Amino acid sequence: MEEHQWIKTALTPFSWVYGFITTLRNLFYDIGLFSSTKVPQFVISTGNLTVGGTGKTPVVEYLTNLLSSATPLAILSRGYGRETRGFIQADADATAATIGDEPLQYFTKFGKKVTVAVCENRVKGALEINRTHPESRLLLLDDAYQHRAIRRDINLLLNDYNRPFYNDLPFPAGRLRETRKGANRADAVIVTKCPPSIDGNQRAQIRGEILKYAKPETPVFFAFTDYAGPLNYEGRPVSLKNVKMVAGIANPAPFAAYLEGRFDVVDKMIFPDHHNYSESDLQGLIKYLKNDTFVVTTEKDMVKLKPLVEKSGYAERFAYIPVAVNFGDDTLPFSQWITKQIDDRL
């Protein structure tokens, strides 16, 4: 612990430099030296100040379920980890290599009712979506809090309950992509991954810490993670006892804790976030796999592993745990708030 603190202290001056650079960049956008382009769609951005693991994907899925029935909607992502460049609209031939794992998950789940596309240039991507799908009047931007070249109508900032931005420092001494003051661009803050036991006093304390950096009138909502029952790779419920955990996500600790609390975890294999699985990886997953054991993954890992697993003949030995966001007592307040923002301006 002392060694870790020593390293953090040594890196803090570099964090000051990094924070100054990001602050200067934001200032240039604020005063108009750098321009933000208004696109035809009503733009809702989700993102965070922290590097990875705040629960953006479940929030995007929640927003899609909440809003797409009333207004045609498109999801635009950078497509992190893909092996392609430029604008690509997801279709039946899409893979994690062509569009990235999270967009592939969106397309797998919502492709029949929403448009899913990737483009590293969000303005170009939004304009192309408008050209091909002018009916899609809502645009969800995935992980775009720092991507200020495109103007957004609603800026949602996610804050991980377990790793709050207000206790962190900019890179490299911490995990922040910019300084804490970046929270003042948020139209609302969602505290994700809250424990079921969180009470009113804790909510008030967290809200107070957030509003030290966000605008005073910024609403703060609290959300929980719901783990659904395990499904096989064909989407059918399956009963588990002994499991081999596999995860390639930014923060696998909550997933591991969930599995350990419900099943006998006989082994764990952790890969880097956005890991693209290979045939050799698959062989490592099934090596020494006993007949009474399932390989259990996250949904994001499932969409990448599924093609390999189906070819291997081991599909019946793989399962995944779907994850969703639950706003609990804030379900109605959040729904009312965001639909009012849209109704007032769309």
Q: What is the mean pLDDT of the chain?
A: 93
Q: Which long-range contacts (CB under 8 A, 24 or more apart) does 211-215 make?
A: 212/166, 213/165, 213/166, 213/180, 213/181, 213/182, 213/183, 213/184, 214/157, 214/183, 214/184, 214/186, 214/189, 215/184, 215/186
Let me know whether 313 and 338 are in one domain.
Answer: no
Let me know whether 101 and 180 are in one domain.
Answer: yes
Let me know whether 264 and 167 are in one domain.
Answer: no
Tens of pLDDT along 127-180? 999 999 999 999 999 999 999 999 999 999 999 999 999 999 999 999 999 999
- 294 domain-assigned: yes
- 145 domain-assigned: yes
Let me know whether 216 and 238 are in one domain.
Answer: no
How many percent of the chain have pLDDT more than 70? 99
Domain span including residue 194: 42-226+326-345
Answer yes or no: is pLDDT of 30 > 60. Answer: yes
The arithmetic mean of pLDDT across residues 79-107, rounded, is: 94
Question: What local confidence, expressed as pLDDT, does residue 240 receive?
Answer: 93
Backbone dihedral angles phi then psi of residue 160, each to the nearest 5 degrees: -70, 120
The arithmetic mean of pLDDT across residues 15-39, rounded, is: 94
- Comparison of pLDDT for 313 and 4, the residue scoring more: 313
- 7 domain-assigned: no
For residue 172, whether the previous peptide bond is cis, meaning omega lies within 30 degrees of 0, is yes
Question: What does the radius of gyration of the chain's CA atoms come to, in whole angstroms?
Answer: 21
Let me know whether 206 and 263 are in one domain.
Answer: no
Q: Structurally, how many domains does the chain consist of?
A: 2
The arithmetic mean of pLDDT across residues 245-258, rounded, is: 92
220: how many CB neighbours lie within 10 A of its CB?
21
- 220 domain-assigned: yes
- 190 domain-assigned: yes
Let me know whether 139 and 241 are in one domain.
Answer: no
Please, are residues 42 and 139 in contact by the beta-carbon 8 Å criterion? yes
**Entry pTM:** 0.92
Q: Model confidence at 120, in pLDDT bands (50, 70, 90)?
A: very high
Answer yes or no: is pLDDT of 5 > 80. Answer: no
Let me know whether 294 and 153 are in one domain.
Answer: no
Let me know whether 294 and 235 are in one domain.
Answer: yes
Let me know whether 220 and 245 are in one domain.
Answer: no
Nearest to 269 by CA among 311, 307, 308, 305: 305
Nearest to 305 by CA among 290, 293, 294, 295: 295
Question: What local confidence, expressed as pLDDT, does residue 266 receive?
Answer: 95
Let me know whether 124 and 260 are in one domain.
Answer: no
Answer yes or no: is pLDDT of 3 > 70. Answer: no
CATH at residue 303: 3.40.50.10700
- 35 domain-assigned: no
CATH at residue 104: 3.40.50.300
Query: Which alpha helices (H) appear in the chain, and where do they start and end?
Result: 2-30, 56-67, 96-99, 101-110, 122-132, 200-210, 253-262, 279-286, 299-312, 331-345
Let me know whether 68 and 206 are in one domain.
Answer: yes
Let me know whether 306 and 164 are in one domain.
Answer: no
- 174 domain-assigned: yes
Nearest to 106 by CA among 77, 132, 86: 77
- 313 domain-assigned: yes
Binding-site annotation, residues: 50-57
Binding-site annotation, residues for ATP: 50-57
**344 CB-near residues (< 8 Å, 6+ apart):** none
